[in-house]
Amino acid sequence: MEWVEITGRTIDEAKNAALEMLGVDVDDAEFEILEEPKPGLFGRTRGEARVRARVRPTQVRPKTERRDRRRGGRGEGNRNEGSRGDGGRERSGNKESRNGGERKPRPERAPRPPREAREPREERPKGDPVDPAIVGAQAVSFLEGVTAAFGLSANVVLVREDEEMEVQVNGDDLGLLVGPKGNTLLALQDLTRVVAQRRLGDHDTRLRVDVAGYRERRRDALSRFALKVASDVKETGKPRVLEPMASADRKVVHDTLAGVDGVSTRSRGEDPYRQIVVEPAAD
């Protein structure tokens, strides 16, 4: 799980900002206090609080031991055969005696023709447009299987509006499917698109996946965080470079600060390390 570092005037303020950044509740997060504000004169404090936070790892329920038993059985069989010693050599000797004391050479395989000489693959014909209802049902079935494989209790529903579809996974203790900064959720969405769209040949519908309302919470948290950063930039006159974000998160920050006077935003770097720079707007 990735850690994020957040600063604030107090420890509680830094922790709350970290929770908003991660988009989880306090029970689903872990904290490390890196630096505390120091007391100053007249009851004031000097410096800032700095904490590290991450999404608390979720323990996956153990799978059945059938595979281990099967693997152990094969191992015992191999060990038993290896422990027979002379018996194994006797079988080998008997085999050689049946073959006349010599092993028969393997027949040589014919060399494969060069790639240019092979017959070209036939292109898969494009069929009729896929029914979005079938795509949605396939996505729901896949995500139900994923949650069951992780031993999670969840309700998977499909919300559809024309060719826009969102599969919502609702339930408790689903932080494992979200991951730090929603990275696991993005990977889960990509897998769902492969299963429900690419395999069926669908190129028209737009499919999204959400877990426990994370996307809306993440959008609100990023908006509040972006406004706080913009306020700090206007007060100090110094630019702030944010941590690398996914393209969807960067869009939220850009859109939020587009209407804020006195600051401007730009992106730098390449994915997956692309960052947003919030800086004072040019006069």
pLDDT digits (tens, 9 = 90+) for 7-27: 888 888 888 888 888 777 788
Helix, strand, coil percent values for the chain (each to nearest 5): 45, 20, 35
Q: Quick one: tokens of 211?
A: 């877990």
| 280: pLDDT strictly greater than 90 | yes
Q: What is the pLDDT of residue 16?
A: 85
Q: What is the pLDDT of residue 257?
A: 95
Higher per-residue pLDDT: 158 or 73: 158
Say which range, 17-26, 42-51, 144-153, has the weakest mean pLDDT.
42-51
- Per DSSP, the residues of 65-89 read THHHHHHHHHHHHHHHHHHTTHHHH
Mean pLDDT of 165-184: 89
Counting every residue written for the chain, the total comes to: 283
Q: What is the pLDDT of residue 201?
A: 83
- In the chain, the percentage of residues whose pLDDT exceeds 70 is 71
Q: If you average pLDDT over every residue of the chain, what do you get?
A: 78
| 43: pLDDT strictly greater than 80 | no
Other CB atoms within 10 A of residue 3 CB: 14
Report how far residue 229's alpha carbon sits from residue 254's, in angstroms, rounded to the nearest whole number.
Answer: 12
Report how far residue 257's alpha carbon sits from residue 221's, in angstroms, rounded to the nearest whole number.
Answer: 14
Q: For residue 248, what pLDDT band results from cuts at 50, 70 and 90?
A: confident
